Structure 1
Amino acid sequence: MRVTGPKVLLITTLATGVAVATAVPLLAKPEPVLVQVAANGTPVPGQYIVTLKPGASTAAEAGRIRATGVRRFDGVLNGFSAKLTAEQLDKLRRSDKVAAIEQDQIVRIGAVQRAPLPWGLDRIDQRVPKLSKSYTYKSTGKGVRVYVIDTGIKIKHKQFGKRARSVWAAPRFKGNHRDQNGHGTHVAGIIGAKHYGVAKGVQLRSLRVLDRYGQGMMSDVIAAVKWLRKNAQKPAVANLSLVGSRSKAANDAVAALARSGVPVIVAAGNGDGASRGYDACRFSPSGAPNVIAVGAIAPGDKRTPWSNFGKCVDLHAPGQGIRSTWRNGSSKVLDGTSMAAPFAAGTAALYLSRHPRAKSATVYKWLINNASKGRVTGLPAGKGTPNRLLYKGRL
């Protein structure tokens, strides 16, 4: 959880050059806003996210340039996304109402199939790494809703009973809420499946933003967050097991959701997906303020080599060899920080079932203070990664 001052956004501009000291008239117009593009991501051609200055009207600015495909993000971001021509983009860059422009980008899941090794539930209910071969719980999370922003959920999976529903899907899916990838169903199972879940009585709600390939647009993620801020039935938790290049617009949106009373749990990210992690602060939403970003450990409490690190990682949780529900009605074993985050989301739901009026900051504080300290090995030296391991306690 990071609630300190504003963070630096690393950007790559459309043009570079050398700054030269010149005389500037006192009444000179401000320089056009630079378009921020994903420094380490995949941009979406012709699609942009526009953040306006306080007091500026999204409807007026979008209407002024006659933009198409406009989606407003009122409530979580004073701005909108739209398809823009070069001429429209130039007009916005020169508008004194515009604070920032980002090129939309692809966000992705982070999970890899591995051999069976069901152990995550066993690990989070005890302090020591030697597993007791049991999962003890006093609460099931009944009365709490966990909103899964992902590829969708297989609603009729027998592990969910009648506790899962689809509530929103990005417009590009044209009403198709089905999980055609499996990732979202797997995440939902870790949170609340009858056999695999942390909170076995929780209500699961799907917001689909990712396609059959586990990819989607950052603007769709922001749109889902906007919907959730307006429509969440509390007590509630949001889980985002996805990652994209750093986006200030996305970070601001999820922070606004958390301030509205919905704790936000996110994956720290999987680095190169094989043997190397990166600084989680370089990505979104893991680098956002006011969220809990979760890294992954393997059995024995060793950080997985691909798990992202740094001061933006708040907790670690099991993320290697995790069995959970799958889109065809069966189960599957996956690796990833995508699997670690829902362990924390399920635990947050258990806490909220006991303390339904708790604010997001209170939930975050409990997760951090209750974590096992100094247990995680393999953390990179000098990167400032907090050594905390998720612990469910007596919930």
Structure 2
Amino acid sequence: MNVGDTEIVVSVMQQEGYVYTDNIEEADVILINTCSIRDNAEQRIWGRLTDLKRYRRAKPGLVIGIIGCMAERLKEKLVEGPYGVDIVSGPDAYRDLPRLVRGAEAGGKGINVLLSTEETYAEIAPVRLDRNGVSAFVAIMRGCNNFCSYCVVPYTRGRERSRDPQTIVSEARTLFENGYREVTLLGQNVNSYKAGDVGFPELMQRVAAISPLLRVRFATSHPKDISDGLLEVMASMPNICRAIHLPAQSGSTSMLGRMNRKYTREWYLDRVAAIRRYLPDCGITTDLIAGFSGETEEEHAQTLSLMREVGYDFAFMFKYSERPGTYAEKHLPDDVPDEVKSQRLSEIIALQNELGHASNLRDVDSEFEVLVEGTSKRDKNQLSGRTSQNKVVVFDRGGHNVGDYVRVRITGCTPATLFGEEIV
């Protein structure tokens, strides 16, 4: 989401005559796009602001701004504290950035953190920062209505609103015509997309119909909104990737209730069974939280058992960090000791390493169509790409280039990477 937002910001600034640079020492304006979903993400930003002081000493007129979710949440601290940033812009105020920058250049402070019930940036053409020119993000909606008890997103990004489907299809078609071969449809809860009579399954069908050579992915989906209708559309169109990120957060129904996730363990496993039924070759990945409020050993054990039952290909795994302003911060004590959180997270990570390696081992001797995204980091004579299931494959270059589809047989693997050879 932040990559997609950054590309919108670059577009807004370039329309006002600013030029993007990769060299921070050349910059007259530095904007840091932030996330507030975990405390660790915010702590990194405070460290980054400390590092930027040396650039301000070298260039006294330098404008430094914080944009995104952290700006929405901590505006006073950012402007008035020792870091003294010049601009604070929330995620719905990016159109106002040029005015805020001009005010800061004149010696003032620029602040706009108003949330919107309508802003989607639908007609702004993002400036693609992906240098390989193969994969692109397309934001289809903004905000979230779920109010999970631990999550700050509804307070920093506002309520759900969806883009007009025609603008989404047009953006994806333009990307394909410009040589991109993969788009990822983005939303905080992407499968709750609804614009008029068009729901997420129909939108996916429209985007995938642009060309069979355009791969379509989506992130992130909510288990309560994974419908059979969506799975039927995915099964009917081979260029919709066989990969679903399905955040579980916990394997315990009692814990899911405290998290306000709006589904049970049984519902989640029913949706996994439906995915396996419609899409037998689909990869499933997840998010997991260790040590949320009141978590017992039994609830932790249920998370481990869920992991084994589903057999995830990959997982994002975190210790719970209490976020100010959430329901949990106000009503649910952060009462699991940190050492217990760390131990449980270690067990989750160790199990997922086993599951991920086992998943890769099952792919050995199988064949996949790989979309080439670049050269291997270790060997320039090899290419790197991803399968429909979103797994990285490395194989000999042959006569292929970035953006090509190559049929590959998997010959070996590590826990993180598949190795293959082209099928001639």
Normalised TM-score (structure 2): 0.26
Higher share of residues assigned helix: 2
Normalised TM-score (structure 1): 0.27
